Amino acid sequence: MAHSAVQRFYRYHAYFYDSTRWMILHGRRRAAQRLGLRPDCTVLEIGCGTGLNFPYVLEQLDARRGRVVGLDFSADMLRQAEKRVRARGWTNVELVQGDATQLRLGTKFDGILFAYSLTMIPDWPRAIQCAGEHLKPGGRLVVLDFGRFAGWGPLGAVMRGWLRANHVETLRPYVETLRKSFPSLEVFDWFGGYNFTAVGQKQGS
Ligand X SMILES: C[S@@+](CC[C@H](N)C(=O)[O-])C[C@H]1O[C@@H](n2cnc3c(N)ncnc32)[C@H](O)[C@@H]1O
Give the number of other CB atoms < 10 A from CB of residue 110: 20
Min CB(192)–ligand X separation in Å: 21
Q: Does 100 bind ligand X (CB under 6 A)?
A: yes
d(CA 101, CA 108): 16
SS3 6: helix
- List 57, 58, 61, 77, residue binding ligand X (CB under 6 A): 77
**Nearer Cβ to ligand X, position 137 or 161?**
161
- List 34, 37, 41, 47, residue binding ligand X (CB under 6 A): 47
d(CA 182, CA 164): 27
d(CA 31, CA 143): 8
SS3 55: helix
Amino acid at 46: I
Contact flags string 16-35 toward ligand X, x per CB under 6 A: -----x---x----------
Min CB(95)–ligand X separation in Å: 12
* Residue of closest CB approach to ligand X: 49
- List 33, 101, 129, 181, residue binding ligand X (CB under 6 A): 101
**Nearer Cβ to ligand X, position 13 or 202?**
13
Q: What is the CA radius of gyration of the chain?
A: 16
d(CA 161, CA 90): 38
**Nearer Cβ to ligand X, position 77 or 85?**
77
- List 24, 33, 55, 99, residue binding ligand X (CB under 6 A): 99
In the chain, where do the E strands start and end?
42-46, 67-72, 93-97, 109-115, 135-146, 186-190, 195-201
Contact flags string 121-160 toward ligand X, x per CB under 6 A: x---------------------------------------
Q: Does 163 bind ligand X (CB under 6 A)?
A: no
* Phi, psi for residue 10 in degrees, rounded to 5: -80, -10
Q: Which residues bind ligand X (CB under 6 A)?
A: 6, 10, 21, 25, 47-49, 52-53, 72-74, 77, 99-101, 115-117, 120-121
